[in-house]
Amino acid sequence: MTLRRLAVALLVLAVVAVGSVLIGTEHLGVGVLVDAYLRPDGSDAQLVIRHLRVPRTLTGLLAGVALGLAGAVTQGLTRNPLAGPEVLGVNAGAALAVVIGIATAGLSSVSGYVWFAFAGAALAGLLTAVLGAGAPVRLALAGVAVTAMLGGVTSALTLLDASAFAEYRYWVVGSLSAATLSTVVQALPFVALGAVLALASARALNATALGDDTARALGQHLARTRAVAAIAVVLLTGAAVAMAGPIAFVGLTVPHIARALAGPDYRWVLPWSMVLAPTLLLAADVLGRLVARPMELQAGIVTAVLGAPVFIALVRRRRLVAL
């Protein structure tokens, strides 16, 4: 039954992905999509498909997978159902690195942000892991402290540099609109490695959910489990933030929906999160194009508007499954 429902969810994701390619300021047909790759003729519609819509959809798929897995692993790692990837300070580290890159190197494109954002995310995640080593509560508290500290530095830099603030404010809301195939290719190895580490941590996360003593009794090496899980979160969130900016609520909300559908077993929660998160992100991106035509709302704004009430509804209905 679970496999059948997951297959249906994959089909929904495929439909949303095709919609993401075809729907926009100008609606295009499936025939245009097919011709763009099988019978290219250089028409404007085909160029839009190949150079704008498809890279944007691939970025949404990849960033969604990364955020969904990162959120589920973070909640398992911290044993905190209110935790998201930003709890480990990764988003704040990426944001600070992007501001530094804009202010010192004049960055103005996603391809320029990628390596700064990823380096900042990795360093912030490492700092949180070092400060919070030993217990999930300490890790969460360390993440909050690192996020506050780095956020303060970021705010100071953007206030002192008007040009940096002008660039940063477009990036920080989270968007797929500036996606390129180059960015996808650069981020793909990090997402792939992070996904492998996350999926490999599923059994260990099931054990740690029962408490440290029980996990040790079941033969789990807690320090190694937390290290692998933290590395996975850093790789996944760093890549997602580098591609699309700090998109809100996807990593927080999706794992709860996954647990409501599949139960508390991380061997199912993680695959469900991999499917549901890109579905939500792409659907939010398409909705943002439709509600403000001919302009568009950024995906990060739409996910925040959609994610907050969904999360509240889940809490009110007590559908959060104990970790």
- Tell me, what CATH number does 53's domain have? 1.10.3470.10
* 109 occurs within a structural domain: yes
Does 22 map to a domain?
Answer: yes
Quickly count: other Cβ atoms within 10 Å of residue 156's Cβ: 11
Q: Helices 110-131 and 181-200, interaxial angle, to 10°?
A: 20
**Looking at the domain assignment, is residue 321 inside a domain?**
no
Q: What is the pLDDT of residue 320?
A: 46
| Cβ(97)–Cβ(116) below 8 Å | yes
Closest to 323 measured CA to CA, from 230, 229, 206, 228: 206
pLDDT for 254 equals 92
Structure confidence at residue 111 (pLDDT):
65
- Give the number of C-alpha atoms closer than 13 A to the C-alpha of residue 280, restricted to the C-beta side: 33
The span from the CA of 226 to the CA of 203, in Å, is 13
Is residue 196 situated within a structural domain?
A: yes
- C-alpha to C-alpha distance for 219 and 210, rounded to whole angstroms: 13
Structural domain boundaries, residue 58: 2-316
Q: Specify if 61 maps to a domain.
A: yes
Q: How far is CA 246 from the centre of its chain?
A: 8
Check residue 317 and give its pLDDT: 63
Q: Does the N-terminal peptide bond of residue 294 adopt cis geometry, omega within 30 degrees of 0?
A: yes
C-alpha distances in Å from residue 171, one per residue of 54, 72, 107: 20, 25, 11
Helices (H) and strands (E) in the chain, counts: 15, 0
Which residues contact residue 246 at a Cβ distance below 8 angstroms, ignoring those fewer than 6 apart? 86, 91, 94, 95, 172, 174, 300
pLDDT at 322: 44
SS3 for 241?
helix
Beta-sheet strands, E only, within the chain: none
Of 34, 36, 84, nearest to 246 by C-alpha is: 84
> How far apart are alpha carbons 35 and 39 in whole angstroms?
5
C-alpha distances in angstroms, 105 versus 120, 124, 162? Answer: 15, 21, 15
In a domain, 282, yes or no: yes
**Domain total for the chain?**
1
Is 322 among the domain residues?
Answer: no
3-state SS string over 282-311?
Answer: HHHHHHHHHHCCCCCCCHHHHHHHHHHHHH
The per-residue pLDDT string of the chain (323 residues; one tens digit each, 9 = 90 and over) reads 678 888 999 999 999 999 999 887 777 878 788 877 878 787 777 788 888 899 999 999 999 999 999 999 988 888 877 777 777 788 888 888 888 888 887 766 666 677 787 788 888 888 887 887 766 677 778 888 898 999 899 888 888 877 777 777 777 788 888 788 888 888 899 999 999 999 999 988 888 777 776 767 766 777 788 888 888 988 898 888 888 888 878 988 899 889 988 888 999 999 999 999 999 999 999 999 888 777 888 888 899 888 778 767 766 665 444 45
